[in-house]
Structure 1
Amino acid sequence: MYPDRVLSGMRPTGRLHLGHYHGVLKNWVALQTELPCFFFVADWHALTTSYDDPKVIAESVWDMVIDWLAAGVDPNQSTLFLQSRVLEHAELHLLLSMMTPQGWLERVPTYKDQQERLSHKDLSTYGFLGYPLLQSADILIYRASHVPVGEDQVPHIELTREIARRFNHLYGREPGFENKAREALRQLGSKRGRLYEELRVRFQQEGDVEALEQAQAVIDECQSLSHGDRERLFGYLEGGGKVILAEPEARLTEACRLGGLDGQKMSKSYNNTIFLREEAASIERKIRTMKTDPARARRTDPGNPENCPVWQFHVLYSDDATRGWVQQGCRSAGIGCLDCKQPVIDAVVAEQSVMSERAQRYLDDPALVRNIIADGCERARKLAQETMRDVREAMGLDYS
């Protein structure tokens, strides 16, 4: 139907830390070698909770992009851009808001959760209620096929799929759709046309998903089809109308959550973070003073690594031999807590030194970062403009 494409974004609300790296950026780096990736700075999204203090957004945007580049996101493989510089996001969000039931937004699980968690802020705004819809517009405008998320974000992708289906149902029924679809069917040729019809019947009458995939492949094989006829055949195949907005799939990312220095979630608000590109001396000081298993009040007391915040760092940073050494040494009191922490210090410092080295060229020449974003915005805008052309045409708004 549409080419496979990955979309993901991050809000610029302050310095990035190891939790962001292990939870998001490592997945981005891996994905960019598999599929075309579009990664954006979600500065409009940041306004939903920081509308009263937007300067933190402006201060964070460029540092965050440098952190992405330092972590290994490659602008030669991925498209990096600013949400607010592709105005089509706002246009699609506005048009979708006209047809999205309010109840759909109110039932998003994170809506009430965040209101409670951020109770010190006034979040009784339309922007906060509508941020899942803006998120859907971000995805749908690039017709992204894959959106990397954790399990807690899956409801957002389901909402996006529902919005795409509703839009296609309302606006994909062009006048004479079935006749136009049958005309398009003739362009497949008699042999392919018969196979398409057989597979279409199998899917619609028996729910045969394999038949659906085979029929989609038949369409893809016919290079002479126009874009419009291709979309009509996809819609006719599934028993709907013309597919204008593609339904994305949630791509569950590997659960790799790194807790903070105190064992809680790593967060700036808890003051328990190690920032990306942090100085080696600061990293060493923070890890050396980390809390450990309360049972180890004295050096001679045995402990349990599972009860120690340092252990979660070993899970991510140490090899099997080191983890075995920690398990045996901690439980037998054969090693002290500072002994246990040293391999973690060495590994984190080594990792951050590589990131700092990557980042230095962008710190020395900030124009490089601006140029990367400018190029990315241009590529993103071209795709967004194509989608909005189809959206306006489907809604009958192309009369200017």
Structure 2
Amino acid sequence: MKAINVIIFPFFLLFLLLLSGCIERPEAPVVSEQDATMEWKADGIVSEGEYSRSMLLQAPPRQGYSGGNMQISWRNDDEYLYLALNGSTTGWIALGFEPLEWMKDSDIILASVDNGRAVVLDEYCTGNYGPHIEDTMLGGTDDIEEYAGRESDGRTIIELKRKLKTSDRFDKSFSPGQAISIIWALSDNPDISQKHNVAYGEGILTLTSQGEAAAASVLGGLSPREIEGLVFIWEEEKAARDIYSSLYEKNNLTIFLDLTRSEQSHMDQAKAVIDKHGLALPEDVPGLFENKTLQEIHDRLLAEGSASIEGALKAAAEFEEISIMDLETELAVAESEDVRTMYQGLLAGSRKHLRSYVTDLHSQGIDYQPRHLEMKEFEETVKA
């Protein structure tokens, strides 16, 4: 019988990190774009013009982790997703699609190179931190159609191909133009049954729309309404980061540490689009906002959240509700493709955050009722 593969956070080491009170700011992943002019080939070699998009995801050293990065390159058509994973390790590398929260219900690709031969597994994670096992052991199918890999200069490179929509209920279904929430991890051990110990993180992988002129959408002008919305959303993500950072300092709950980092990543994603269009941003001063409404919301929820752990989780959940509503509003009026793509990614993140806060409250026997979202949308979000 094949070993069950589990990736588990070392909680006692993470606790030592929490005691330091240090929240690191992750570097913003920059997505580079080009025309995919070459035919895709599964050979473990990422050739110029083979992929249309690429980004470098990085994670710093921390307790129990040496730190590392993964370069992800991709292209897609109407039927297939083509991926290249290039991780800073000679052990195994992993990419997970659309987790419900943390790792739960994520569609995982776990890969390594064993004596020059690529090993690529199609897996599914059943819990927040594992276990994740091969789809075939759950009654599903192996839907990685082609793959190859190699090790070079201390890195593991894997290329693979899978359908956007398979018939396997353990595989996530994708559509051209979709913003996909991802998680990733690296281990220095080639034994895929061992947990990750090099790096881990999250990100957004956005598929191309068919017939999309990426450069034109990036360089095209924005309407005054889009400009106003972009700056507002960046400052709203900043409000989330500042609230969660302050609440973490008060109660040391791990969820606030993790989601502070996530909100900083959301700010960086918004800033990348803002910078492309040459727009100015307010100064990034923790706890201070140019938008008066955001200032009032920040101050109110921080005061409510400082009273107790229950209050903190409820205040954070309420903010995610507000964020979801605002992102839906801006998405409805945005016309530029790069702006819409970024909003879709942030919206997926906010929905995941809301699920996480509500789940933490439920685990403490506390029922959370929506304060802003309609009940139907709220239930669809938390039960997704």
TM-score, normalising length from structure 1? 0.24
> Highest CA radius of gyration, 1 or 2?
1
Normalization by structure 2: what TM-score? 0.25
Higher helix share: 1
